[in-house]
Amino acid sequence: MKKQCVINTLLFIGIVFAISFSLLKVTPFEVTSETYIGTIVTLLSLAATFVIGYQIYNAIEFKKEIENQKGKYNDIIKRNEEIEAKMVQQEFVMEEGFDIISALVTYNSRQDSSMSTSAFLHMHRALISSIETDRTDYEWLFRYLRHFIVNMDGLTFSLEYAGTPNSFWSIDESSEDYQCHVKRSIGEFTKVVKENDKKLRSSKNFCKIQMEYERVMRLLYNRLANIEQNPAESISDNEKTKIMDSF
């Protein structure tokens, strides 16, 4: 604003000087009409030059202001994206926590093999949210998964819901339908596991847990195969050690 006032003042002085010079009659000097015209044209050219220069200056300043505002706009967009990313990650943290708590509460509600599959599914599902967070320590999560696998046996897959909370009944091992029921239950359990497995593998962050995850899943399927083959047989100490210590 201050610069504009200075330029306007200079232009005004130049114009006044040009008009005054054109009206003055200087007498011992001979000043012809061509001289007046030339002088006026010169001064007007100077005025036009000042005006054009000022407009160029304004255009440069305006461009700088646009670039400045564009930079501020990009900063706002970047901050909004960071806030949105944090909010999304917070949702994953909450989902992860809910599934982990559900797994532990479910398993500890009975402290036996009957809840090991439900606890495994909750903890397995927790991994889907967990890999989308900043978490880097997964060892304890896999330790729980291994623990739930160790506690799976024929009884786990021979239970039927009795219709009241925490009430189940088990099919007799001597029943002709016993092994078929166990096999069917394992199939239903495996179906849910594979659904969660598909979601995990589709994530770009799956590489964070891939090596240990593949190892744990092999142990799970081996354990399920052993149960399906011999539902009444308890897990051996050798297999238990292999599951818990194969890192």
DSSP 133-152: SS----HHHHHHHHHHHHT-
pLDDT band at residue 135 using 50, 70 and 90 as cut-offs:
confident
Provide CB contacts within 8 A for 180, sequence distance 6+: none
pLDDT band at residue 19 using 50, 70 and 90 as cut-offs:
low
Question: 113 vs 153, which has greater pLDDT?
Answer: 153
Instruction: Give pLDDT, residue 44.
Output: 77
Inform me whether the pLDDT recorded for 171 exceeds 70. Answer: no
Q: For the chain, what percent of residues have pLDDT higher than 70?
A: 74
Domain boundaries, the chain: 2-81, 109-245
Give the 3-state secondary structure percentages of the chain, helix then strand then coil, rounded to 5. Answer: 75, 0, 20
Residues 25 and 88: their CA atoms lie apart, in Å, by 84
List pLDDT tens digits, range 39-67. 777 777 777 777 787 777 777 878 888 88
Provide CB contacts within 8 A for 127, sequence distance 6+: 138, 141, 196, 200, 209, 213
Single-letter code of the amino acid located at 20: S
